[in-house]
Structure formats: C-alpha cells, structure tokens
Structure 1
Amino acid sequence: MSEYVKSPSLRHLRDPHSLTRVATDIVKRLDPQSRTWQKWEGEREALLKSAVGCWIPIQDLREYLNHLPGPILTMTDVAQRMRAFQEEPFASYPNDDLKDGCLALLAKEKAEGTELPAIIGLLSEYVEREEERFRLERAERHKRIREQERSAAEQRLLSGADCKWTQLGKAPQWYCRANGRTYRLTPTSDKRWDLHRVNAPSAGEKGQHVGRYRGRGDATKIVAQIAYEVEPRF
C-alpha cells in the first residue's frame, strides 16, 4: 500500500489494476482471518503467483511449495490457486506456443540442480522475450498484409475496374470507381471533402465538382446514387 501512495504518477494512482491491488491489501490487513485460501501463507502465494504465465507442471510446483511452511498442499490446491491467479485482471494463461520452450528450459535447469524460484525467474524472462518477439512478428506481418492490400487496391484503380476509395501512394486525394465512372475526394481546410467526377485518377485534372461533404461515408452515399444516373459529358 505504501508503494501506491508514494507514486508520483497520477496515471498510476488512477490505474484500475493499482486500485484493485491496494483495495485487496487493505482488506487483508483489516480482516486477515477472512482469507478464503487458508493454506496459502507466507512465501507460498508469492512464489506461485510469480509463475503465472509460465509452463510449469503442477507437480513440480506442489513438491517445492510443500517444503515451505504451511499445511500439505494437494495437486488440486495448487492447480485451482494458480487458476485463480490467472483469472485476475491483467493476468494471463500460459501461451500454448511457448509450452515446449518452457518445458525444455525447465528440464535443463532441473538437471543442473537449479532451484525452482530461479527457474521461474528464468522462464518469466523467456516468456517476456518471446511474447515481444511474437508481437513484433505480428506487427510486421500485418504491415506486409496492409501493404499488399494497398498495392492491390492501387492496381485495381489504375486498371479501370470498379473499386472502393483508394489512395495513390501518400497523396491526400482518394479515388473510387463505380459503374465505370471515376470520382475523386480531396480534403479541404475545414476538414471536409470535395467530391469531383473525373476522367482518370489525376490530381491535376480539375473535374466536375459534385459537392462538399463531412466525410467519406457521406460522399460514398452520393456516389452510389449518381454513378447510375445520366450525366453530361465533360
């Protein structure tokens, strides 16, 4: 609780997770006898909570925890307490993609005689690194997909096929084609959009002004209507 009130960050003080933690601490201090999990005393709870997100067999956790002060824990005791931790706000279940890596590290460190708390710390670091790697790979994959979609949309526009609103490169104008007719949207200084009927995707062509609209959605409704009406040649 002292860590909470000493924080200089207003964002931290207002964080729902921080508020939940300090509220839990207050309840524990005011009524320590009301604990639901009676077997979890002292270091047991802290150790198990540090393993959240890691793939560690319940049997290994139980064996180590039963060497700490407190009543004998069953497999169900450990499994259900872990599940309760995993279901807390901002916690998570172990990532299936990291199971083999965690178990391999666990077996290696156990064979070398490493103590379980140190193994948990190592696995937590491994999970954190791998999760960040996955995040970066997903971001890069999404970026490639968006670029491929953007390129395909440009090619569709330039090929003369009907298409939705599409940008050419980083130009501010957007183009769409409906019923073989090309329309251009240009942003204005008052954050609206000028809609023009044009012959081809080109910022240099003046085109025929259709109207000014608040957003692309409004312009899209107009295009859907006028694209199938008789229009003058221009």
Structure 2
Amino acid sequence: MDSDRQYAIASLLFDYMKSPSLRHLRDPYSVQKLAREIISTVDRASSIWKKWEGQREEVAKAAASCWIPIEDLQAFLNGLPGPSLTKTDVEQRLRAIWKEPYTTYPNDAFKDGCQALYHSEKAQGTEMSAIIGALQEHIEREDERLRREQEESYRRCKEEERVKLEQRFLSGADCGWTRIDRSEAFYSRRNGRTFRIVQGKDKRWTLSRIKEIDDKGNLLGLYQGRGDANKALKTIAYTNESLG
C-alpha cells in the first residue's frame, strides 16, 4: 500500500513538473491544487472503502442528509464508474459518513418534507444530481426556519420569565434579580428585605438596601462583578439591619 501511494504521488509531481512555465510551477493557486490532489490520492489509496472513488464519494456525501430512498440512490450510484454497489454498501457508507467529524445524522424533522420534494421532482423527470441540489437547498431553508423559530421561542420564554419575576417582586414576595419597567438597575428581595444593584460607568456594581424602588437607599458595597455582590448578599440579607 505504501508503494502504491508513493507511486501515485510521484506521478502527480512528475506531471506537475512537466509544465514549461516556471511562473506556473511557483503559482500559489497551482501549488494548492496539487496539494489537494495529493491528499485526495493518498486518502483514496488508504481507504477501506474500495468501491467509493471520485464522483461516487462526492454524491454520497452530498446525499447523506437528504432522506433519499436507498434503492434509488443505489441505482444512481451504480450508473457511475466503479464496481457494483449493493444496498448494504450504500447503507453502511452513509452510516460511516454520518459519523465523520462535522457531519450529523439526517434531521428527522426534515424527513417528510425531503421525501415529498424528492418524489415530486422524480415524477417530473428531474435527474438525481439536480434533485440532490434541490434537497440541500430545501434543508438549508428549513434549518434556517427552525433556527428562527427556536430563537423566537427562547426569547418568548425569557420574556415570560422576566414578567413573572417582576410581578413577584412587585407583589412583595422574595425573588431573584429582576429589572422593573426595564430599568438599568436590578432589584431583588431576600428575607423580606429589598435590594438594588446597578452597574456604573467604571463597570463596578453598586449594591444598596432600599425600602422603595425610587429610594436612594443605603450603600452596602461596590463589587467588580454581580457574582461577588450575590456572594456578599447571602450574608447581608440575613444580618444587615441598617434600615431597620
């Protein structure tokens, strides 16, 4: 196997050096192209998947997430150069592709839409390569739609949580930090006592004990981060009696 790889790489290098143009030999783009060809050649020579070369491998990777019926994909791949592929060949190659880095299994949420689009295009006589491209575009659109819906759902849940926390504070119950009417300051109530924390221009946090939201309050401390203030508040909330 090592001698096969060596021969294949040497052939590429000899072909490259046949160029009569020194400028071409030194051209960065040409060098990068040669490097990619060498890597591709080495990968093919050392691969355990002997039936998957050239276009077959490219098609399999493009189709891996598209929910194409295995029998149809097998028939198309067998029309490309290479040894005959069985259904198991195709199934297991796809399974191996899904396990590769930066590759994921087909999303179940897209299955019905992909299959409907596939059968529609197939009925119209669209060739497989074009169908795969259409399915990839469909998945990209659906993935973006799903991402937007998830983001919107997350924002909605966060806003509902914020409103509930604000209402809890306004009702007089103990609660964690919350903004009131989207104020710059955060308010909290612990052990029946009310506290305010606000970040100044120096990025430090000022912690105060107050009776009402608009009170100037009593300064309890300045902190580099809210985490430091929260740590101090665990003690202050139960020991500080400065406001009675």
User: Which band: TM-score by shorter chain?
Assistant: 0.7 to 0.9
Q: How far apart are the structure 2 equivalents of 1:184 and 1:76?
A: 66
Indicate how the Cα distance of structure 1 residues 82 and 214 shifts in structure 2: closer, same or farther if over 3 A, else same: same
Are 2:216 and 1:206 equivalent residues in the alignment? yes
TM-score (norm 1): 0.83
Aligned partners of 1:158 and 1:201 also within 8 Å = no
Secondary structure of the structure 1 residue equivalent to 2:183: coil
Deviation of 1:25 after TM superposition, in Å, equals: 5.3
Give CA-to-partner distance per residue, 1:105-133, whole Å, 9 cap, x none. 11222222221111111111111111111
Aligned sequence identity (%): 51
After the TM superposition, which residues 86-165 of structure 1 pair with which residues of structure 2 at under 5 Å, given as runs?
86-165=98-177
Deviation of 1:74 after TM superposition, in Å, equals: 1.1
Match of 1:231 among 234, 241, 244: 241
Indicate how the Cα distance of structure 1 residues 180 and 91 shifts in structure 2: closer, same or farther if over 3 A, else same: same
Deviation of 1:26 after TM superposition, in Å, equals: 3.7
Deviation of 1:24 after TM superposition, in Å, equals: 7.4
TM-score (norm 2): 0.80
Q: Which moved more, 1:87-96 or 1:176-185?
A: 87-96
Aligned partners of 2:179 and 2:187 also within 8 Å = yes
Are 2:198 and 1:186 equivalent residues in the alignment? yes
Secondary structure of the structure 1 residue equivalent to 2:80: coil
Aligned partners of 2:209 and 2:243 also within 8 Å = no
Secondary structure of the structure 2 residue equivalent to 1:72: coil
Structure that is richer in helix per residue: 2
Aligned structure 1 segments of 4 or more residues deviating by more than 6 angstroms:
none
Q: Which moved more, 1:140-149 or 1:164-173?
A: 164-173
| Greater length-normalized contact order (CA 8 Å, ≥ 6 residues apart) | 1
Q: How far apart are the structure 1 equivalents of 2:43 and 2:150?
A: 46
Are 2:51 and 1:39 equivalent residues in the alignment? yes
Q: How far apart are the structure 1 equivalents of 2:238 and 2:180?
A: 25
**Alpha carbon RMSD of aligned pairs, Å?**
2.1
Indicate how the Cα distance of structure 1 residues 231 and 31 shifts in structure 2: closer, same or farther if over 3 A, else same: closer
Secondary structure of the structure 2 residue equivalent to 1:228: helix
Q: How far apart are the structure 1 equivalents of 2:84 and 2:218?
A: 83
Q: Which has the larger radius of gyration?
A: 2
Indicate how the Cα distance of structure 1 residues 31 and 105 shifts in structure 2: closer, same or farther if over 3 A, else same: closer
Secondary structure of the structure 2 residue equivalent to 1:36: coil
Deviation of 1:27 after TM superposition, in Å, equals: 3.2
Deviation of 1:23 after TM superposition, in Å, equals: 8.2
Aligned partners of 1:28 and 1:35 also within 8 Å = no
Q: How far apart are the structure 1 equivalents of 2:173 and 2:37?
A: 64
In the alignment, structure 1 segments of 5+ residues that lack a partner are 7-21
How many residue pairs were aligned?
213
Match of 1:215 among 225, 228, 231: 225
Aligned partners of 1:177 and 1:183 also within 8 Å = yes
Aligned partners of 1:54 and 1:102 also within 8 Å = yes
Deviation of 1:233 after TM superposition, in Å, equals: 3.8
